[in-house]
Amino acid sequence: MGDLVVARIDLESFLREKSDLLKSSSAHLLGEAKSNVIQAYKRAVEELEKIRREGVEQAVETLSK
């Protein structure tokens, strides 16, 4: 019976450790994903601004003719 108690404690400890590791990994991955989304958004905004500037330049050029 004593071996069963020790095995159960070891199993609980192991599962708790793995659970904590998964929580930590999940938080890290979520933070990384959030950072990637923010970077993609910034790149998209920059690209849209570039397209808008080019459009304005073309419009000014057309109107200047």
Torsion of CA 53, 57, 58, 64, to 10 degrees: 160
What is the reported pLDDT for 1? Answer: 61
Taking the complete model, does pTM exceed 0.95, yes or no? no
What is the reported pLDDT for 4? Answer: 76
What is the reported pLDDT for 8? Answer: 82
- The tens digit of pLDDT for each residue in 4-51 reads 777 788 999 999 999 999 999 999 999 999 999 999 999 999 999 999
What CA–CA distance (Å, rounded) separates 16 from 25?
Answer: 14
What is the reported pLDDT for 45? Answer: 97
Instruction: Measure CA of the first residue to CA of the last residue in the chain; give whole Å.
Output: 95
